[in-house]
Homo-oligomer: A and B are copies of this chain.
Amino acid sequence: MYTETVKSAPERASDRAYRVLRDEILDGVLPAGTVLLEVEQSARLGVSRTPLRSAVARLVADGLVAGRSGRGFSVTEMSVESINDLYELREALEERAATLAARRDDRTAFGMLRDRFVAAPALLEAGEAGIHEYYALIDEFDAAIDAAVDNSFLVGALVTVRTHLARIRRVARGNPVRLRAAAAEHLLILDAIIDGDAALAAHATHVHLHLSLASVLAVLEATETTS
């Protein structure tokens, strides 16, 4: 395969600023409510104000930051309601995506993924590195879904959802019990897709998302009362 790593990525300064700020927001380095001042951030990231403005504009389009009326921009909050809203949209999109994947002719990619999800529980015993690898596996699952639905609009909406999801995934990161259950749920979805059972794929996805949301809300409520 032709790997285009060298010349195809001039990596503009605005791209770098966007990527860095986005990762920092997603990783929680820049918590919700953080005010982003143009001069301050441009100095910190070593770029001029112009590319930084471009980066912030893209973050606004992503919904990760919002412009405050007069003064500066700030990282958006992730309230409990917004999490419920996000999962509402996620349900609509992923159920449809699972349905389409199950109806697709070529489902060999999912067969290969299945084997690796079977081995996932062992992965989750391997500490932080294993958890990291597990999330990489989830990413590959998502990528396989994207390739199967083959719909730029639907995939685009899914990407947006996953961006916001990355912010709240942090809270469930240190919960191996939940992750093991999630692996089993993914396995069921994969089996349904491989069998071409669109209805089961959609319903298994629904169940998975229901349990995922319940877990997130439980963790959130626990940390809420703690702090």
Residues of chain A touching chain B, judged by Cβ–Cβ distance below 8 Å, are 50, 53-54, 57-58, 61, 63, 82, 85-86, 88-89, 91-93, 95-96, 100, 151-154, 156-157, 160-161, 164
Contacts and interface: CB of A to CB of B under 8 A. Distances in A.
A154 B54 contact: no
A61 B61 contact: yes
A157 B57 contact: no
Nearest to A150: B85
A56 to B, nearest CB: 10
Nearest to A87: B153
A153 B86 contact: yes
A157 B54 contact: no
A153 to B, nearest CB: 4
Contacts of A161: 153
A89 B53 contact: no
Given A92-B92, A92-B93, A96-B92, A85 B153 contact: yes
Contact of A154 (B61, B85, B95): B85
